[in-house]
Amino acid sequence: MQTLFHGSRVAVEVPEIRIQKYHKDFSWGFYCTQLEKQAARWATRFGTPGIVNVYSFDDASLNIKRFSELSDEWLDFVVACRTGATHAYDVVEGPMADDTIFNYVQSFLDGEISRAAFWALAKFKYPMHQISFHTEKALAALRFERSYQAHV
């Protein structure tokens, strides 16, 4: 059993997958993190107090893709997802492209920098953690525990 956090403007007792205009690192899904401080930053990103939601997660019997670190495989997966590709995983876990790394991913995607240049730029950045839930089966493995207010 693992504890996960989700930062939001509201309490999210029943997580859902929302298909939005913009593609995310691991495609559309419900995103959490193992890092409580990161969730608090997500919750307060608009300069106002927000909510940190706390979940327990049991990953038994799920189809999970895990990236332990930034790698060519991670980069190719993120580029594919950011350009609209979908995948068959219930859950994807790995590094999150923060704003700086995301800009490098976008430059790579746009053909403005090479793969080698991406890695040269990204090597001193320390990505955050994300775990995304992409199916109803995956969401059923999350159990809402509580939520609390996070302050700016």
Q: What is the mean pLDDT of each run of 10 residues along the chain (152 residues)?
A: 94 90 83 94 92 94 93 92 91 84 85 91 77 95 96 85
CA distances from 151 to 8, 39, 41, 44 (A): 12, 12, 9, 7
Q: Per the domain annotation, does 144 fall within a domain?
A: yes
Q: Per the domain annotation, does 47 fall within a domain?
A: yes
pLDDT of amino acid 16:
93
| Total count of domains within the chain | 1
pLDDT of amino acid 57:
96
pLDDT of amino acid 113:
93
E strand intervals along the chain: 2-8, 30-32, 50-57, 64-66, 91-96, 128-133, 142-150
Helices (H), the chain: 36-43, 72-82, 99-109, 115-122, 136-140
Question: Where residue 66 sits, what CATH number does that domain have?
Answer: 3.90.228.10
Q: Per the domain annotation, does 123 fall within a domain?
A: no
Extract the tokens encoding 104: 């490098």
The structure's pTM equals: 0.88
pLDDT of amino acid 55:
98
